[in-house]
Copies of this chain bind each other. A is one copy, B any other.
Amino acid sequence: MKFATEYLWFSTGRPREYINVTKEVARIVHNSGIQEGMVLVSAMHITAGVYVNDAESGIIQDIDEWADRVAPKGPDYHHHRTGEDNGDAHLKSLLIHHQVVVPITGGDLDLGPWQQIYYAEFDGQRRKRVVVKAMGE
């Protein structure tokens, strides 16, 4: 059995940002030598997400606006009694989900033609990370 574990670090310029990490995840899988298995890509923060969708700039803007409509910034969340102001980012993380599992087949990510893996930052401008863990044979 083979394993590979790497951490991707991010420090976005904007509070919310969407970063395509597909190539990084593919590189980790290729370096692992795993031919068959699965790779988990999981945010290590509670105000960020990881999702699979399209690398088209319009849909990325739609995702951003939609997440902010369903889980709006600003309202007086109970969480803000702690001095934080990022209650919305916690809810956006739940909405988008914080992780995906990608199958590895024949040594490669087994994704559909338009599927790309994205890191979704909902409370950025600080150092944050994603764990990528591959396992298989």
Chain B residues lying within 8 Å of A38, measured Cβ to Cβ, are 38, 40, 133, 135
| Contact in complex: B114, A45 (CB < 8 Å) | yes
Instruction: Give the interface segment out of A8-16, A23-31, A90-98.
Output: A90-98
- Cβ–Cβ contact B53 & A90, under 8 A: yes
Interface residues of A in 70-93 (CB under 8 A from B): 70-71, 77-82, 87, 90-91, 93
Query: So how many copies of this chain end up in the complex?
Result: 3
How many chain A residues touch the partner (CB < 8 A)? Answer: 58
Cβ contacts A to B, 29 pairs, < 8 Å? A1-B1, A3-B137, A5-B110, A38-B135, A42-B101, A42-B103, A44-B111, A44-B115, A46-B53, A46-B115, A51-B94, A53-B94, A54-B90, A56-B79, A58-B77, A58-B81, A58-B82, A59-B77, A62-B77, A62-B87, A63-B94, A66-B71, A94-B95, A94-B96, A99-B100, A103-B131, A105-B131, A110-B131, A110-B133
